[in-house]
Structure 1
């Protein structure tokens, strides 16, 4: 009888066994230089400066993306609001989006598939999820800017659990945002974000992989073995152009649509303070669709807390707002498959419910 994988294991993806050559080593080295340079410019240096500012002031400066676009909670659809939201949002994320598109093309062309699969393809989905989550922490991108890289990983044959963990880990396990929260908010906010974030990234990604089924995993095997050779550096310009032409227009259209309906997607005005459990459900469901830049959940959560909303609403938004969004779901649907994306949204919503329960408990226990 042929050997079988242990329970919970992802179906093995055939990995070429050729030893590393000079071209492969050079490609990986070039990838590291490109990725590190882009992240230094778009993320690491700006965040280091932001931490310095917050250490001095201990107060968040700047309004939320919704408020900056002049959108009132509960307001009706407006093309002017959509344009204002798109402009404000794009101004906040364009560097990270550029980095994400370039890194995605580099993943497809500079990193040999056998190296990539050797890193992410593990015998157990939980191990793949842990590796994907760990790989996500240095890039610290928002969910939308992570989407091109997650799609590139999937198209290169990486397993569902590892790709979903990378996609969710970027926004949820962002170490800079955890530091921001510790500097400007009660420590319980950072604790909820970290505890629920780890659970969603690791356990949630494993759950998504299992619910997705073997058919999707088998498709990854076909993708990984579709070409005998990697595209190599010569394929980078074409991969970059293809990624940009597919991702950027689609991204802007969906962000514009979110902005147009953002008054409905974020209806938590002052009158919603009396909604009780309904306010929490609205925060969980609609917070998974609304798009915010990195750390954009901080001013939104602080504004609601100041307006008198309870810890349950704040705890839910600390998880669901950064983790996923409608634009990132649309951008990853082709590579990850719609079923995987829908299960991911459901897992994130469940994490939001857990955050809504956990934050009041922690706050009450320390008071």
Structure 2
């Protein structure tokens, strides 16, 4: 596939310059949206060891088991958007940079390894600095797939952002019992590396046709293509994202039915926690106050362990955002593997506590 602009061929020096530009742009955006805010948060928690602030559901006034409400959907969308807008902006801009500034052959040489496990390991390592929630990382995962990156590496990047977020691991170590952080780290590593490789094996590694067409139209386009790609990606993903988030908020009471009466559900409560974790969307570290609230209300460690994995890993909005690039088979198998990992998290935390 050509790496030329219309009427102009990119030189190796020019390609390197554009790649450095993309790296600097990503670093600046992450410094603004993630690194500095999280550094301040770590300092706060190191001094207090108490999580301040409520969950996104409480902030939107959603009660467990409450009936669907358009007002709740709007309130949830506003609370969630205010929590993630910086990271979403960063994700969209980085995605456009990946598609237009970084040579496709460079990306594929980094992520395409001899085995799916090796590709997943590289994808997981690349995910740790960006520290995004599952929805905000979806545009970047989409861009990587459209650039020809392998399934295992892309899925590992998508899952690794929320599951292996070093800031959230520090949050969990500073606030709840240490077993929470241990469960998240162990199961997160298994899912990001082993789970992503398993998804690639089960779903195959064929790039969907629309994604191949997108590569031909946008990749290696240089700065001249950056703004058009950013505008097109934003115009397509942001409205779709907000509509699905609004729908989740509207039915959030049903999607989160774990009120006090659910404490006696036993295994059923764990299964419900896994299911709602795959659907509900939370901002980065949004699982912490939800898990704390359930633990305080008397729910067992199995329910908490399931939510510590399922809530951040994937969500209905993020699945909708990536399905066009990854394909339905990859997204479906990813959610199945995450569900299995969530059950493992439930079992592990129950054993540790």
Cα distance in 1, alignment partners of residues 218 and 42 from structure 2: 46
C-alpha distance in 1, partners of 2:248/2:270? 20
Q: Of the candidates 316, 325, 350, which is equivalent to residue 360 of structure 1?
A: 350
Distance in 2, Cα, partners of 1:268 & 1:125: 37
Which residue of the other structure, out of 310, 317, 323, is the alignment partner of 2:307? 317
Which residue, 336, 350, 357 being the options, matches 2:340?
A: 350
Select 1:135's aligned residue among 126, 132, 139. Answer: 126
User: What does residue 232 of structure 1 align with?
Assistant: 222
Q: 2:261 matched to 1:248?
A: no
TM-score w.r.t. structure 2 length? 0.95
Task: Please name the residue that 1:258 is paired with.
Answer: 248
SS of 2:135 mapped into structure 1: helix
Per-residue CA shift, 1:257-288, capped at 9, x if unaligned? 00000001110000100111110000001111
* Poorly superposed stretches of 4+, deviation over 6 Å: none
Distance across 2 between alignment mates of 1:190 and 1:269: 25
* Counterparts in 2 of 1:143 and 1:218: CA distance versus 1, 3 Å: closer
Unpaired segments ≥5 residues, structure 1:
1-13
Distance 1:345 1:152 in 2: 20
Gaps of 5+ in 2: 4-8
Q: Are 1:126 and 2:110 counterparts?
A: no
TM-score, length of structure 1 as denominator length: 0.91
1:219 CA displacement: 5.8
Q: Corresponding residue for 1:54? A: 45
Pairwise CA RMSD = 1.9
CA distance in 2 between partners of 1:310 and 1:297 (Å):
16
CA contact (8 A) 2:169 2:184 kept: yes
Counterpart secondary structure, 1:139: coil
- Judging changes above 3 Å, is the alpha-carbon distance between structure 1 residues 144 and 229 closer, same or farther for their aligned structure 2 residues? closer
Q: Give the 3 Å change call, closer, same or farther, for CA 259–218 of structure 1 in structure 2.
A: closer
1:306 corresponds to which of 278, 292, 296? 296
1:185-235 Cα distance to aligned partner (Å, 9 max, x none): 111000000000000001110111011125x25869956974697211210
Distance 1:64 1:180 in 2: 15
Could you tell me how far apart the structure 1 residues matched to 2:239 and 2:143 are? 17
Counterpart pick for 2:36 among 39, 45, 55: 45
Structure 1 CA distance, aligned partners of 2:204 and 2:110? 22
